[in-house]
A and B are shown apart, each in its own frame.
Chain A
Amino acid sequence: MSAETVHTVIDDIGSLLLFTMILIVAAGQIYRAIYAVAAQSLLIAIAAAVLARATGNGDLWVIAAITLAVKAIVLPWVLHLVVQRMNVRREVEPVIPIAATLALAVLIVVVSFQLSASLGPVRQAITGNALPVGIALTLTGVLVMATRKTALTQMVGLFASENGIFFTAMAVTQGMPLIIEIGVILDVILAALVMTILVLRVRSTVDADIADLDRLRG
């Protein structure tokens, strides 16, 4: 594949990633957010495969496979299971209206494009729009974490944010050392496990959700 083809393909995947991010922000039900984050991880895996093919970096194939298995299949499945186990309300409970969150997401995308345009020569070295898209995904993921009341939707935000970092790192470095990537993915799995257990335990012992914890007084 020529450098130009890779450029356009990464750009296209970037725009689809932004679309899945919009779906996560706009999702009114937890299941839809989970499916959207699974689709996002699938796109990340495809991007890794494309970069692997283009750069001939064998490690990236491994990364693509691990991303596909862990982030696109196992983690969404775990989240799905938790939603079923907890028997929670299926609607996400936003702190501010979803329309306002969408407007903030647009702002983040525009700002991250502006910021990375000011980087000039640094940006030239990076494949396509990967840097602004990655920054936008990361920040929007943080936005989702900040504007949701339930722990599960905050986890979805965390995964989306992590996807953004992963995408940026992959496109900027043309494939990091395998050991680092595996470390990052292990971190995500651990975080997911700890948070899942915490959510389930908190719920089963005190029957409270994250939103209720702000009433705690020390």
Chain B
Amino acid sequence: MTGSRPLALVLVEMILLVLLGPLVTGAIQKMKARLQCRQGAGVLQPYRDLAKLFRKGTVQADTASGLFPLIPVLVLAATVAAGALVPVVRMGPPAFPLGDALMLLGLLALARFLTAVGALDAGGAFGGMGASREMTVAPLVEPVLMMVVFSTAVVAGTTELGALASSRGASWLLAWGAADFLGFAAMLVVLPAETGRIPVDNPDTHLELTMLHEGMLLEHSGPGLGCMLLASHTRQIVTLGLVSALFFPAGPWGGAGAAGLLFGAGSFAAKVLVLAIYLALVESSYAKLRLFRVPQYLGVGFVCAFMALALRIL
């Protein structure tokens, strides 16, 4: 099997994603703070938080089972493995059988499932509430992501993300079909939900009944909480990488040499930055939706994704 991404490159990309994940969160928080006329913490604050958590000890609920300490590790592993499937600096299929976009979504769903199981396992009321809400939102978000992937995969004839991205070619915006606009709109609608942000979730609060993801993390502490946070940073950058691989795969014409790789890395950083600015703007300009209004909001994304698929097939 010939491909343009050898194993070493895939591993480097994966590590890069994990290392840069907290930076994206920090950048979004900084932008939000500036938009709200606050000074805000530095963009490196998530790294400091992680470093602090990894130095701390662990406290565990008496009711938690033996599975509970394993949950953060498993969640982090699933999310990082999903990161290996996102093309970062170079497009094109990998040189060895890896997984495709469905595998990526499946791993993210696995991470979500494990998080919810961990929250229920600890036996706390908040955790159970958060898990139940997360499981209400997930069936609305995941099909949308699936359908958007399918609507682009129908044209490319493959669900492998690298190949999908390279089939778009260099003139991506000019080559956008009618369905791509709807698919991208669907992606923009579900992006805040998938990354756990306003208007679906609030990443800043731990003690409010409106929260989804943070509620599930309450029972974790120390290195375990650090793993969970790192996993959610990675999940965010992986989702942003998925969007940019599906819709703006700039970088395939950068050539094979070091200059091409640098160009690919630079364009990836630019794309993630643009999406991060979008998330910060949405978070600053909308209020958190009431939980019962969330299905209506996500319904817009669902309908857009469905129409994108219908436009491709019919």
Q: B185 an interface residue at 8 Å Cβ cutoff?
A: yes
Query: Given A11-B178, A18-B182, A19-B185, A110 and B304 touching (CB < 8 A)?
Result: no
Q: Is the CB of B182 within 8 A of A26?
A: no
Measured between beta carbons, the chain A residues less than 8 angstroms from B185 are: 19
Q: Is the CB of B300 within 8 A of A26?
A: yes
CA of A128 to CA of B177, assembled, Å:
12
- Identity of the chain A residue whose Cβ is nearest the Cβ of B174 in the assembled complex: A8
Q: Is the CB of B307 within 8 A of A106?
A: yes
Query: Given A102-B299, A110-B310, A129-B311, A22 and B304 touching (CB < 8 A)?
Result: yes
Q: Is the CB of A106 within 8 A of B303?
A: yes
Contact of B181 among A19, A109, A114 (CB under 8 A): A19
Q: Is the CB of B178 within 8 A of A15?
A: yes
Measured between beta carbons, the chain B residues less than 8 angstroms from A126 are: none
Q: Is the CB of A109 within 8 A of B176?
A: no
Q: Is the CB of A129 within 8 A of B178?
A: yes
Contact of A15 among B182, B293, B295, B299 (CB under 8 A): B182
Q: Is the CB of A109 within 8 A of B307?
A: yes
- Identity of the chain A residue whose Cβ is nearest the Cβ of B314 in the assembled complex: A113
Q: A194 an interface residue at 8 Å Cβ cutoff?
A: no
Q: A117 an interface residue at 8 Å Cβ cutoff?
A: yes
Q: Is the CB of B314 within 8 A of A12?
A: no
Name which of A11, A15, A19, A128 has the most chain B CB atoms within 10 A of its CB.
A15
Measured between beta carbons, the chain A residues less than 8 angstroms from B177 are: 8, 11-12
Chain B stretch 279-309: residues in CB contact (< 8 A) with chain A: 293, 295-296, 299-300, 302-304, 306-308
Q: Is the CB of A106 within 8 A of B306?
A: yes
Q: Is the CB of B179 within 8 A of A15?
A: yes
Q: Closest CB-CB distance, A86 to chain B, in whole Å?
A: 25
Task: Tell me how many residue pairs across A and B have CB atoms closer than 8 Å.
Answer: 62
Number of residues on chain A facing chain B (CB within 8 A): 25
Q: Closest CB-CB distance, A116 to chain B, in whole Å?
A: 9
Q: Is the CB of B176 within 8 A of A18?
A: no
Measured between beta carbons, the chain A residues less than 8 angstroms from B181 are: 12, 15-16, 19
Q: Is the CB of A22 within 8 A of B178?
A: no
Measured between beta carbons, the chain B residues less than 8 angstroms from A16 are: 181
Q: A23 an interface residue at 8 Å Cβ cutoff?
A: yes
CA of A12 to CA of B179, assembled, Å:
8
A–B complex contacts, Cβ < 8 Å, 15 sampled: A12-B177, A14-B178, A15-B178, A15-B181, A15-B307, A19-B182, A22-B303, A22-B304, A23-B300, A28-B293, A99-B296, A102-B296, A105-B303, A106-B303, A110-B314
Name A's B-contacting residues (CB within 8 A). 8, 11-12, 14-16, 18-19, 22-23, 26, 28, 98-99, 102, 105-106, 109-110, 113-114, 117, 128-129, 132
Name B's A-contacting residues (CB within 8 A). 176-179, 181-182, 185, 293, 295-296, 299-300, 302-304, 306-308, 310-311, 314
Given A11-B177, A28-B296, A113-B311, 18 other A-B contacts at CB below 8 A? A8-B177, A12-B177, A15-B179, A15-B181, A15-B182, A15-B307, A16-B181, A18-B182, A18-B307, A26-B300, A98-B296, A99-B296, A102-B300, A106-B310, A110-B314, A113-B310, A114-B314, A132-B314
